[in-house]
Amino acid sequence: MSHTPRRQFGTLAPALVTPFLPDGTIDLDSAARLAKKLVDDGCDTILLSGTTGESPTTHQPEKNALTEAVKDAVGDRAFILAGAGSNDTAHAVRIAEGAQAHGADGLLVVAPYYNRPSQAGLRAHVLAIAEATDLPIMLYDIPGRTGLAFTDDTLDLLAEHPRISAVK
């Protein structure tokens, strides 16, 4: 008998834009409505706090409130994938911990941008984030934005971690 594994991260995962109110605060009601609409239309994953979601310009309390509002809006109907990227490892760990505490189901982890660490430094950065939560991780390899690519050897080593299971 053949067993088809469950798709951990879903099959259709739009990067949610982060809507703002005129005063510059996140419009949580609009974010929740947009996420519900996307899920109603067939999306089974919602990516929050990615580049499209203003990840570099929103702060921890805002990221947490956004994750919580969207999770409350869609419940278990969609996998909530939260960006946990920073060029500062300790900051990325705090983002990951906040995402888990506020309802995220998984993390999207980008290479630390601007700093351009060695591959050993990149692995240490990702593993610190992976060890900070119980959430599954999708790596985000976008060297045109970060200035650093995950090498095949680094991907092979990171794939040995039980919670690192995908690459975007």
Residues in Cβ contact with 88 at an 8 Å cutoff, skipping those fewer than 6 apart: 112
Q: Give the residue from 79, 91, 98, 70 showing the smallest Cα distance to 138.
A: 79
Whether 114 is catalytic: no
First to last CA, the chain: 31
Whether 37 is catalytic: no
Tokens in use for 85?
């990227």
d(Cα 158, Cα 19) in Å, to the nearest integer? Answer: 34
Q: Give the residue from 18, 89, 9, 17 showing the smallest Cα distance to 43.
A: 9
Q: Give the residue from 138, 68, 55, 143 showing the smallest Cα distance to 98.
A: 68
Vertex 43: Cα angle to 40 and 49 (nearest 5): 110
Annotated catalytic residue, options 36, 37, 71, 140: 140
Q: Which of the residues are catalytic?
A: 140, 168
